[in-house]
Amino acid sequence: MKKFISGWSLIKIFTFLVYVWMFTPIIAVVILSFNPQQFGSFPMEGFSFKWYVKLSHNSTILDAFKNSLVLGSCTAVLATAFGVPAAMAFIRYEFRGKEFLNTLLIAPIMIPEVVLGVALLLFIRWLQQPKSFALLLIGHVVLTLPYVLLIVQARLVGIKKEYEEAALSLGANPFQTFREITFPLLAPAILAGMLFAFTISFDDVTATLFWATAQNQTVPVKIFGMLRNSISPEINALGAVMIVLTVSTPLLAGYISRKFAKGTGK
Amino acid sequence: MKQEKDPAFVKFTGIEKRYGKVVAVKKMDLEIPEGSLVTLLGPSGCGKTTLLRMLAGLEEPTHGDIFIKGKRINDTPIHKRNLGIIFQNYALFPHKTIFDNVAFGLKYRSASKAIMKEKVEKALETVRLPGVGNRMPSQLSGGQQQRIALARAIVIEPDVLLMDEPLSALDENLREDMRREIDNLQQALGVTTIFVTHDQREALSMSDKVVVMKDGFVQQEGDPEEVYNNSVNHFVADFLGHSNFLNAVVNEQQGDCLSVTLEDNSTCLAIPAGTFNKGDKVEMVIRAQKFNLGYRADHVPEQGENVFFGKIVDRSYMGGEVSYFIELENKLVLHAINFVKRSPYRRGDEVCMKVMHEHCRLLKI
């Protein structure tokens, strides 16, 4: 019997090729980061951690790394602190201008980052304030708030209002109801939103280029700068570290929220 | 000595709820006696759930006052009202064990651990589910979950138990069991209960008092027999059970009955609901179950009966009883439900439908 290549197999092959095309550069970076030669080429001659060692002694990179971690963490905390109450308000209460306000908070997702970057910079000039860590932090919160908002809102919609109503009717006041019922049911989404905010902040280049000063450069901005000057295999090592971090954070978030979600029904 | 029961344990006066321009409940007055089970019955959108939610404190009335035990509670927040609410979808806290679910309300009533444990176990026994305390809600069936919801609500010894369509998410067979269980439990505990439903069978079978609502108004309130047998208007007669409506014009008084002329110029005797004058246009209501069918050929006229003749155009067999649709000579189709005696009538059979005068009621149009 003769087998024809059906439409479906063609699509499968095509999809596979797209993935190859997408991931090959990333894999190449990771592989080349273990290459002992100054100028990376295949086939590799040997295997070494020397670029990683060198990286760990590069104080500017370590500073940038620290900056990124601090910025990412602060952004995650602030975006969650604003995002969760906002999501509660949008889903659970009726008030005037709700739709408008919601769109306004989601808007940064839809606006190109370059525009956002320039806009905030112009605003800060207009206020005659210097660029600072605070500016960078505000910018990143604006950038990541929509993600927290959307994730928490989606989860809140799924938490039936009756749970809260039942708790209230049983004598728990609104705060106790939040603590005992809403928060535990919402926790996976809050965690996921938080890690999302961290990842996006940690990963951002375009807007951060506009906002960062020499003192508070983040890792992606640093890499960008390094690429302009020279092509050092250190960048490969740094890239590999970044890839591992930004990929593992959301994966961890997914794992934790699934674990939390077990036994909590829908 | 037994304490006198408060006839207005729960009281609504001039209660009204508007959502923008839509009026959900219109200027309603209602009193609910202590220890009774009252059903709010009506089609969806009649305002029954809104009324319940206002009592619960989940909605704020636009106008009017709500009293429990003579105390105005409009401004009392929900968590201080001491009410037990049963929701349609059970609303058990999915992240808490059954024990913690039932114990939830006790936590805010400063009960000690030992008392809490004792009360929860007693409540679980009351709903016939002892020993499930360690399980999660998702491990129980729908009927079991609803019983836990019931246990959670009664364990706090609420002043009023509110049930919002508690049976509608259950299977048909389970619903009947659960209905009886709620009924028995309510009687045993003697807790004042308000039960919202759109199912007339639930309302008629378990209530001390039925409140039929439509468009935010009370159409009729009374005990189930009263509301069923002496429906005050077309809506109530139509909503409860299967009724036939015939247009008629009033002639004259004959004893307890009024004689009326139907559209086909035949005359009938019927009981008036209200006072009527000669020439008034009225509606004669006859319940489908009140007709007594016979073959037309076997018909013998009898005192105290109205008779209609027609042909069976449709029938549906429902086990113990059969539902017939009979077309009269003037093309009007009447609905009759009869128990099957020997063999059911067939489509096309010429029949006579006899009905006692007292089962024909006249309503104002």
Give per-residue pLDDT as tens, B103-158: 999 999 887 889 999 999 999 998 889 989 999 999 999 889 999 999 999 999 99
**A1 falls in which pLDDT band (50, 70, 90)?**
very low
Domain annotation covers residue A259: yes
Domain annotation covers residue A34: no
B58-62, B99-103, B168-172: range with lowest mean pLDDT: B168-172
For the stretch B158-204, pLDDT in tens is 999 999 998 888 888 888 888 888 999 999 999 999 999 999 888 99
Q: Cβ(B54)–Cβ(A129) under 8 Å?
A: no
Strands B217-222 and B321-328: unpaired
Q: Looking at residue A131, what is its pLDDT?
A: 81
Q: Which residue has the tokens 């027609």?
A: B310
Domain annotation covers residue A152: yes
The rounded distance, in Å, linking the Cα atoms of B214 and B236 is 9
Mutate to test the interface with A, among B68, B79, B152 (most CBs of A within 10 A): B79
Asked if B87 and A185 come within 8 Å (Cβ–Cβ), the reply is no
By CB neighbour count within 10 A (0-12 exposed, 13-18 middle, 19+ buried), where does A30 fall? middle
Q: Closest to B108 (Cβ–Cβ): which among A162, A170, A265?
A: A170
Return the residue of A nearest to B88 by Cα. A162
Residues of B engaging A, defined by a Cβ cutoff of 8 Å: 56-58, 77-85, 87, 89, 91, 93-95, 104-105, 107-109, 136-138, 149, 152-153, 156
Tell me the average pLDDT across B209-213: 94
Q: Residue B14 phi/psi, 5° resolution?
A: 55, 35
For the stretch A193-236, pLDDT in tens is 998 899 899 888 888 888 888 788 888 888 888 888 777 778 88
Which letter does DSSP use for residue A203 in this model?
A: H
Query: Which residue would you say has higher pLDDT here, A264 or A189?
Result: A189
**B62 CA: distance to closest CA in chain A (Å):** 16
Domain of A158: which CATH number?
1.10.3720.10
For the stretch A53-82, pLDDT in tens is 888 888 888 888 888 999 999 999 999 999
Domain annotation covers residue A46: no
Signed CA dihedral, B178, B179, B182, B187: sign only: negative
Domain annotation covers residue A113: yes
Supply the range of the domain harboring residue A178: 58-265
**Residue B363: its H or E element:** strand B360-364
Domain annotation covers residue A162: yes
Domain annotation covers residue A217: yes
Q: Which two tokens stand for residue B319?
A: 């086990």
**A265 falls in which pLDDT band (50, 70, 90)?**
very low
Exposure of B9 in the CB half-sphere (CA atoms within 13 A):
19
Exposure of B76 in the CB half-sphere (CA atoms within 13 A):
18
ipTM: 0.83
**A262 falls in which pLDDT band (50, 70, 90)?**
low
Model confidence at B1: pLDDT above 70: no
**B57 falls in which pLDDT band (50, 70, 90)?**
very high
Please tell me the total count of domains within chain A. 1
Tell me the average pLDDT across A120-141: 87
Domain annotation covers residue A6: no
